[in-house]
Structure 1
Amino acid sequence: MSLVDDARFAMPANGSDADSLDTDTDTDTLDAELAELTDVDSDLDADTDAADDTDADTDTEPTVTFGDLGLHDDVVRALAKRGVTTPFPIQAATIPDALAGKDVLGRGRTGSGKTLSFGLPLLTRLADGERTKAKHPRGLILVPTRELAMQVADALEPFGSVLGLRLKVVCGGTSMSNQIYALERGVDVLVATPGRLRDLINRGSAKMDEVEIAVLDEADQMADMGFLPEVTEILDLVPAGGQRLLFSATLENEIDSLVKRYLKNPVTHEVDPSAGAVTTMTHHILVVKPKDKAPITNAIAARKGRTIIFVRTQMGADRVAQQLMEAGVKADALHGGMTQGARTRVLGDFKDGYLNVVVATDVAARGIHVDGIDLVLNVDPAGDHKDYLHRSGRTARAGRSGIVVTLVLPHQRRGVFRLMEDAGVDASRHILDHAFDAEVARITGARSLVEVQAESASGIAGAAEREVAELTRELERAQRRATELREEADRLSARAARERAELGIEDEEPAVEADAAEAPVAAVAAAEAEQPVTEERAPSYRDARSERPAYNNRDRGERGDRERGGFNRDDRGDRGGRSFG
């Protein structure tokens, strides 16, 4: 491994190469922000040096708490029960203006605490309002993905419940009938994705004419996913006099048009604007050979801790996840081709620690807001600098540190270097000559597959030993139970014998003598059954025919005469009357 410092991997200068991309205003803006942040860092260093000499002044600086921001007392107490007392910078800056009813434009990176920035003021303001009517929510939060909708609702539900407010998630992939039923009962705050909410509005199941506060979270992602037509259609239905809060990691042209159209004199709060400006996040580019890409991916994924891996396609996510599972890594895929139930299960397993790695596509990963992800691995480079920043935003959340690693094939180097420049990211570059390298292990915590397999085998052996111990305990319990049942049977038999003796009931010996007496009779019957028995055989058809009396000629003649209508001479005397002799 070697650090790349030579001209082969130099960053292309703007306007110097014929094939370099034209830098847009975003690049200039990001560069200016980086320079400004660098100056701020220098000033902070100087201030730190001065503060070392004046510790007493530093100790006297007041600390802002949630109780100082004007939130509802029940909300403050609920936060304190969860150990949350000090707000993040964007929360301290945004909540007072939101409580005052002002329109707010917040620009903050994912993980900077935006959910509570708009959620707590929204709940506090609605708590003292009128009772919500059926199908008429008073608060609306629009988010781009189903996962983000569920996470926002989960984050705000405890505080809404203490205020007596009902929240409902409205998104695709879930039962529409349940959502319609909840709206008919009355929902105070609706957390929705634009597509499903538009369907409910068209059905007449949801009406926006009483919405007092509307929030757009991750507005830039909604623009990237093509949801702006639905968003504008929904916001046009919201009364014009309400409060609007818009949060976005970037402010592109489409987002700027939303701000100008729907926000009136917004108060802008810009905290931690770019992932590239986060000092707790480090970026690395690993130039790898095609044959080493899969082994290096396995080694990095086998590290200890939570890791999210990005690929471009759904098939790629399934393939890499299967590859990792076969290598002994606890991994699963997450992409839009999965059912909502499957995606929810994967995210739940990832949060609960049953999975160490999630292999995701860009669209699906926009709903992942899980704390504790300390490494992002781009197996496939991002499509543009915005996707790179969104991917990177999965780590280094809430002031924690994080690492972003991008695997680059030799022919992809130039494009990835330009992408980093557009993102305002200063990434270290490394060339890997082997599938497993000590420098990679130092940077990412990668482990060899032999170590992973040994750990997996040890885990399986431990599970087998625990199963054997459990089966042994079950066998001992069964043996004790059998012994107890045998002793109980003997005790009951003895008790029955005593009761018969007390009642003077003798054992059933006559029955035995009767059986002995019946034995000779049975023997005689059996002997008779063995003797041949002569039975009268029914005559066969041939025998019965031979025994039938034959007609003589006289009979046939007499029958023929009668049949021909003739008469007998002897019958003449009977012609005149009936004989009574």
Structure 2
Amino acid sequence: MAVRRPRSTAPSTTFAQLGVPARLVEALAAGGVTAPFPIQSATLPDALAGRDVLGRGRTGSGKTYAFALPLLARLAAASAPRRPGRPRALVLAPTRELAAQIEASIAPLAAAMSLRTLTVFGGVAPGRQIAALRSGVDVLIACPGRLEDHVESGHASLDAVEITVLDEADHMADLGFLPAVRRLLDATPRRGQRLLFSATLDAGVDVLVRRYLTDPVTHSVDAAPSPAAVPHHMLHIAHHDRLAVLVDLAAAPGRTLVFARTKRRAKALTRQLVEAGVPAIELHGNLAQAARSRNLTAFAAGSATTLVATDIAARGIHVDDVALVVHADPPAEYKAYLHRSGRTARAGATGTVVTLMTDDQVDGVRQLARQAGIAPTTTRLRPGHPLLDQIAPGPRTLVDPPRVARVEEARPARGGGARRQAAPAAAKPRRQSRSSGGRNAAPPVSGAAAFSAGSRVGATRRSGGRSR
């Protein structure tokens, strides 16, 4: 039975006081990380002591360092030679983007401890992964499907794993990965330490806890703002006003993350936003991994200010300072609503969540709000309503649409190379007054549309609440 301990660590506690080795403390400080988040303060003492830990915290609460620090400390304390295909630590993550972000956080710390990391996921050719496994790796960060492929082909063995981490375990359950996760955990030594982190403890996750964790210590910490602490707006609009309202919100200063229900819908919305002058890119499962990585990088860097995504981005993607999350298509259930909404107001930042709903969606959205435990502000409006300026303040900045044809990257089709589909060229540039404020509408480097380097940047300002 899991032992639950109240959090007693003072906010002023340092990583060193929690028992983190000096070299790791120095590496954290070099990266600008000097104070632990609550979930780190709560879990690190037990994890560093070798206990199995069940950490429960909202997305964005700082779980990566909560498991990375004890993992690296353990490997460094009992140094062992690297052996081909036999990692000493395993981190399982549900999505490629999360695996890549975990590796980006761990790699500098691992290098400070003379440890080697490797990320393994699908959507890319396996050759480089196989070569890296052969050369030996200390920490393997992997998605279940591709790792199973390597294990079954004999390129990887998990019999030397000393510590195993399951990150976003509830999302792995939602995606149907639990059978693969169980097979992989069965291949690791039973005596190894296991750390499981999850936002919720649903039935599927509870099965993993009971089967694979030994006398775990459970810490539940909600470091991120509760859903009720973030402003939630439900905008009741006519179907034909959806795009105009979305463009208005996305053209405001700051990063905007727009959620669509399907891959096809994400592609269509991205095209429509680009044609309206919003620097938008897409993220969904039909994009090749290289395109997904480029688009996410462009969004994080600010060269594309709006990302249109399916639920693949609702978990495991951390981009700082997302000012606005817009549910262009309301999700099917409340957990997805919470996960999507958790992309804003992360790590102490502020943010706003907006849901667009038409007449036929009102009842379903109200039920979502009740289940999610939020009390949204519901407003019936049309384009140009003053509330849009309050939700997303600042001058609206638009880019003249590109004259080049849209080129879309997709996964390689069966029996052939990558499919490339050209869409009709965007509309001709419009006359616009130039704005010195608001969004810096730099062209996106990749995504649903390629903006020519010489495209003019203009702005649409609104007078009296209406766009011109």
Same fold, TM exceeding 0.5? yes
Residue 224 of structure 1 pairs with residue 151 of structure 2: no
Which residue of structure 1 lines up, in the alignment, with residue 387 of structure 2? 439
Question: CA distance change for structure 1 residues 175 and 456 in 2, over 3 Å: closer, same or farther?
Answer: farther
Which residue of structure 2 lines up, in the alignment, with residue 86 of structure 1? 35
Q: Which AA in structure 2 matches 1:361?
A: T
CA shift, 1:464, in A, is 7.0
Q: Residues 72-120 of structure 1: CA distance to partner in whole angstroms, max 9, x if unpaired?
A: 2111111112222111000111111110000110111111100000011
Q: Distance in 2 between matches of 1:352 and 1:278?
A: 27
Residue 375 of structure 1 pairs with residue 312 of structure 2: no
Q: Aligned to 2:246, which of 266, 279, 297?
A: 297
Which residue of structure 2 lines up, in the alignment, with residue 175 of structure 1? 125
Residues 107 and 273, structure 1, Cα contact 8 Å, conserved in 2 = no
Query: TM-score, normalised to structure 1's length?
Result: 0.66
Q: Distance in 2 between matches of 1:273 and 1:62?
A: 12
Residue 392 of structure 1 pairs with residue 341 of structure 2: yes
Which residue of structure 2 lines up, in the alignment, with residue 575 of structure 1? none
Residues 274 and 389, structure 1, Cα contact 8 Å, conserved in 2 = no
Which residue of structure 1 lines up, in the alignment, with residue 203 of structure 2? 253
Which residue of structure 2 lines up, in the alignment, with residue 165 of structure 1? 115
1:309-388 → structure 2 map (5 Å cutoff): 309-388=258-337
Which residue of structure 2 lines up, in the alignment, with residue 283 of structure 1? 232
Q: Distance in 2 between matches of 1:153 and 1:69?
A: 23
CA shift, 1:445, in A, is 2.5
RMSD: 2.2
Q: Which AA in structure 1 matches 2:68?
A: G
Question: CA distance change for structure 1 residues 229 and 273 in 2, over 3 Å: closer, same or farther?
Answer: farther
- Point out where structure 2 has 5 or more consecutive residues left out of the alignment: 1-9, 401-429, 442-452, 457-468
Residue 65 of structure 1 pairs with residue 14 of structure 2: yes
SS at match of 2:347: helix
Q: Which AA in structure 2 matches 1:442?
A: Q
Residue 237 of structure 1 pairs with residue 237 of structure 2: no
1:93-104 → structure 2 map (5 Å cutoff): 93-104=42-53
Which residue of structure 2 lines up, in the alignment, with residue 151 of structure 1? 101
Residue 204 of structure 1 pairs with residue 161 of structure 2: no
CA shift, 1:366, in A, is 2.8
Moved more, 449-458 or 404-413: 449-458
Q: Residues 379-415 of structure 1: CA distance to partner in whole angstroms, max 9, x if unpaired?
A: 0001100110110111111121111100010121111
SS at match of 2:164: strand
Residues 306 and 373, structure 1, Cα contact 8 Å, conserved in 2 = yes
Q: Which AA in structure 2 matches 1:119?
A: A
CA shift, 1:425, in A, is 1.5
Q: Which AA in structure 1 matches 2:387?
A: E
Which residue of structure 2 lines up, in the alignment, with residue 403 of structure 1? 352
SS at match of 1:66: coil
Q: Distance in 2 between matches of 1:448 and 1:194?
A: 43
Residues 332 and 359, structure 1, Cα contact 8 Å, conserved in 2 = yes
Which residue of structure 2 lines up, in the alignment, with residue 528 of structure 1? none
Q: Which AA in structure 2 matches 1:320?
A: L
Q: Distance in 2 between matches of 1:284 and 1:80?
A: 38
| Structure with more of its chain in helix, by fraction | 1
Identity %, equivalent residues:
49
Q: Residues 169-211 of structure 1: CA distance to partner in whole angstroms, max 9, x if unpaired?
A: 0000123111111111110000000000000000011001110
Q: Residues 463-498 of structure 1: CA distance to partner in whole angstroms, max 9, x if unpaired?
A: 9799xxxxxxxxxxxxxxxxxxxxxxxxxxxxxxxx
Residues 253 and 392, structure 2, Cα contact 8 Å, conserved in 1 = no
Q: Residues 483-531 of structure 1: CA distance to partner in whole angstroms, max 9, x if unpaired?
A: xxxxxxxxxxxxxxxxxxxxxxxxxxxxxxxxxxxxxxxxxxxxxxxxx
Question: CA distance change for structure 1 residues 189 and 100 in 2, over 3 Å: closer, same or farther?
Answer: same
SS at match of 2:323: strand
Moved more, 262-271 or 443-452: 443-452
CA shift, 1:365, in A, is 4.0
Q: Distance in 1 between matches of 2:227 and 2:380?
A: 25
Question: CA distance change for structure 1 residues 195 and 464 in 2, over 3 Å: closer, same or farther?
Answer: closer
CA shift, 1:68, in A, is 1.1
Which residue of structure 1 lines up, in the alignment, with residue 136 of structure 2? 186
Q: Distance in 1 between matches of 2:433 and 2:295?
A: 23
SS at match of 2:317: coil
Aligned residues: 402
Q: Distance in 1 between matches of 2:119 and 2:221?
A: 28
Q: Distance in 1 between matches of 2:229 and 2:302?
A: 23
Residues 310 and 362, structure 1, Cα contact 8 Å, conserved in 2 = yes
Question: CA distance change for structure 1 residues 164 and 464 in 2, over 3 Å: closer, same or farther?
Answer: closer
SS at match of 2:137: coil
Query: TM-score, normalised to structure 2's length?
Result: 0.82
Q: Residues 246-303 of structure 1: CA distance to partner in whole angstroms, max 9, x if unpaired?
A: 011111111111111111111111111887x245421111101111111001000101
CA shift, 1:367, in A, is 3.9
SS at match of 1:341: helix
Question: CA distance change for structure 1 residues 62 and 207 in 2, over 3 Å: closer, same or farther?
Answer: closer
| Structure with more of its chain in strand, by fraction | 2
- Point out where structure 1 has 5 or more consecutive residues left out of the alignment: 1-60, 467-581
Q: Which AA in structure 2 matches 1:428?
A: T
Q: Residues 424-470 of structure 1: CA distance to partner in whole angstroms, max 9, x if unpaired?
A: 112111111x212111211223756789973668889xx9799xxxx
Q: Which AA in structure 1 matches 2:386?
A: A
Q: Which AA in structure 1 matches 2:390?
A: R
Residues 136 and 210, structure 1, Cα contact 8 Å, conserved in 2 = yes
